[in-house]
Structure 1
């Protein structure tokens, strides 16, 4: 991969589209966590349930950070426009 291609890829990650893609990917992880919660409850496994809750907290935090990044990108767009 050339430096130019790598620079474009890094730029995409910081773009509005890249941020939306990251939010979608992170939210998709919530489905796995939901399944983990259901399984833990069905098996009455407290340790698995705690793990699922911690995972859910990480997902919520990750999405909040990405939403903040979207707002920052939006603010930058207004200043540039």
Structure 2
């Protein structure tokens, strides 16, 4: 198995999914900072941008959790 095919398979693995969840959750820290800054500045447009970004992160996390459950269902040894 080549290194490239291993790397492509990693994204669909349980470990790769956990890593994606972690990096997505790390992005939430930036959105929280953006929300706080927008509220202190009373900037409606920045606040709207932060809310949309938070919705995108929440949707991304939900998709990753669904993928993690699907991987768990396919794993013979796990379930």
Output the TM-score relative to the length of structure 1. 0.91
Map of 2:2 onto structure 1: 4
Report the alpha carbon displacement of residue 78 of structure 1 after superposing the two structures with TM.
3.0
Aligned length: 79
Identify, as 1 or 2, the structure richer in helix. 1
Output the TM-score relative to the length of structure 2. 0.94
Cα 1:43–1:73, aligned 2, differ >3 Å: closer, same or farther?
Answer: same
Q: Unaligned stretches of 5+ in structure 2?
A: none
Map of 1:21 onto structure 2: 19
Residue-by-residue CA offset, 1:24-80 (whole Å, 9 max, x unaligned): 000000000000000000000000000000000000000000000000000100389
Map of 2:67 onto structure 1: 69
| Equivalent residue for 1:54, pick from 46, 52, 55 | 52
Report the alpha carbon displacement of residue 5 of structure 1 after superposing the two structures with TM.
1.0
Residue-by-residue CA offset, 1:1-27 (whole Å, 9 max, x unaligned): xx8111100111100000000000000
